[in-house]
């Protein structure tokens, strides 16, 4: 396997033990053995995306498309792309997108039951068919639309937003422990926001310099400068008792150069459960679904402030805007202290 040494090293740095690395190697080997590239004596790292996705589809059909296997493949192409394999990075980004919707709708159903009871959950989920694990992102919007529409019809908009706006990805509170300490030490909310934004820009600079992916995003020098000049992105701007934040586009480098408004909306959207329906005539995911994104945005502020915040969606690409923008309430206790 080409780049096996580097791949093993990457797996190790991501915390895999020897057994985990062996399983990852086995997953990549299964793809290599199955593709026409191998039979032609060509390197797996140069495989067309279509062949890779066809392999994942076969795993889905066999009920073998686990997160671990897909991540193993994504990691291999990320390593290959970093070592010069043409097109490999794009395959890595695409495979990572397969992982983003996994578990979201079942987690939403669980939260719905916790807030409104099992009977309500059952009535809503009776109208939803969740795609099998390992399905491509484009398989999810029909289910997402069904869930969001049934949820709003069952509960009304206000209660539906409450169900949607939470930490659906299960990010641990510890992820923001260090940032909370910085906030507590800062002389003001504004000073902390400036520092937080500066630190995020530095992270992007590192990825741009090293040519590595930031989550599933390619970072270039122009992306770094764009974010540097946009304090609401990966940061926030305080106006009165609210903080205004704007989501970084999902594909920021392409978003910056695109001149097509519809394409820019698609490139801006982070949600694989909805993005493919932007601009579509049918099966559009309703804008209320963006309350889920509001939940993601507010979670960091909840953890940093040590209190629950409210987050309002001001603009969203599902509602026709070219960006997603939010207003996060600052708790009274924080306003008094800072």
Do 90 and 117 belong to one domain? no
SS3 of 74-113: HHHHHHHHHCCCCCHHHHHHHHHHHHCCCCHHHHHHHHHH
Per residue in 6-35, pLDDT (tens digit) is 999 999 999 999 999 999 999 999 998 876
* Contact indicator for 153, 280 with CB cutoff of 8 Å: no
Torsion of CA 187, 189, 191, 193, to 10 degrees: 150
Rg over alpha carbons for the chain, rounded to the nearest Å, is 21
Do 127 and 87 belong to one domain? no
Do 106 and 90 belong to one domain? no
SS3 of residue 329 by DSSP: strand
Sheet order of strands, 237-239 included:
237-239, 242-246, 325-329, 311-315
Do 171 and 35 belong to one domain? no
**pLDDT value of residue 41:** 54
Do 94 and 106 belong to one domain? no
Do 285 and 159 belong to one domain? yes
Do 196 and 275 belong to one domain? yes
**pLDDT value of residue 33:** 84
**Residue with tokens 């990852």, as numbered in its chain:** 24
Helix (H) or strand (E) holding 313: strand 311-315
Do 116 and 94 belong to one domain? no
Name the domain boundary from 99, 134, 158: 99
Number of domains in the chain: 2
Name the domain boundary from 55, 80, 99: 99
Do 178 and 45 belong to one domain? no
What burial class does residue 114 get, using C-beta atoms within 10 Å of its C-beta: 0-12 exposed, 13-18 middle, 19+ buried? exposed
**Residue with tokens 């209660």, as numbered in its chain:** 159
Helix (H) or strand (E) holding 187: none
**pLDDT value of residue 42:** 59
Do 187 and 290 belong to one domain? yes
**pLDDT value of residue 55:** 93
Residue numbers in the chain where pLDDT is lower than 70: 35-42, 283
SS3 of residue 328 by DSSP: strand
Do 94 and 112 belong to one domain? no
Do 27 and 150 belong to one domain? no
**pLDDT value of residue 38:** 57
Tokens of 162: 């409450």
**pLDDT value of residue 40:** 55
Residue 19 domain boundaries: 4-99
The gap from C-alpha 207 to its chain's centroid, in whole angstroms, comes to 17
Name the domain boundary from 44, 71, 99: 99
């Amino acid at each position: 396997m080409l780049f096996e040494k580097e791949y093993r090293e990457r797996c190790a740095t991501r915390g895999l033990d020897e057994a985990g690395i062996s399983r990852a190697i086995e997953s990549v080997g299964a793809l290599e053995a199955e593709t026409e590239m191998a039979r032609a004596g060509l390197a797996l790292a140069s495989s067309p995306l279509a062949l890779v996705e066809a392999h994942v589809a076969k795993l889905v059909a066999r009920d073998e498309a686990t997160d671990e296997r897909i991540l193993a493949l994504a990691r291999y192409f990320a390593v290959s792309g970093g070592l010069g394999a043409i097109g490999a990075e794009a395959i890595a980004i695409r495979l990572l997108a397969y992982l983003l919707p996994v578990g979201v709708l079942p987690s939403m159903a669980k939260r719905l039951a916790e807030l409104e009871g099992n009977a309500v959950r059952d009535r809503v989920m009776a109208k939803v068919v969740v795609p099998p694990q390992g399905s491509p992102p484009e398989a999810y919007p029909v289910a997402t639309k069904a869930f969001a529409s049934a949820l709003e019809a069952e509960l009304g908009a206000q209660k539906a937003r409450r169900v949607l706006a939470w930490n659906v990805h299960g990010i641990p509170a510890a992820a923001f422990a260090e940032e909370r300490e910085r906030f507590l030490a800062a002389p003001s909310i504004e000073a902390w926001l400036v520092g937080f934004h500066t630190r995020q820009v530095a992270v992007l600079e590192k990825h741009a310099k090293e040519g590595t992916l930031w989550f599933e995003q390619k970072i270039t020098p122009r992306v770094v400068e764009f974010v540097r000049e946009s304090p609401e992105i990966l940061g926030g701007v305080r106006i009165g008792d609210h903080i205004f934040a704007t989501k970084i586009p999902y594909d920021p480098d392409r978003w910056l150069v695109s001149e097509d408004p519809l394409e820019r909306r698609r490139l801006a959207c982070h949600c694989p459960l909805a993005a493919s329906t932007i601009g579509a005539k049918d099966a559009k995911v309703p804008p209320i679904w963006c309350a889920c994104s509001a939940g993601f945005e507010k979670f960091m502020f909840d953890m940093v402030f040590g209190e629950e915040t409210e987050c309002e969606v001001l603009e969203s690409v599902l509602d026709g805007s070219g960006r997603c923008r939010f207003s996060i309430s600052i708790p009274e206790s924080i306003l008094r202290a800072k």
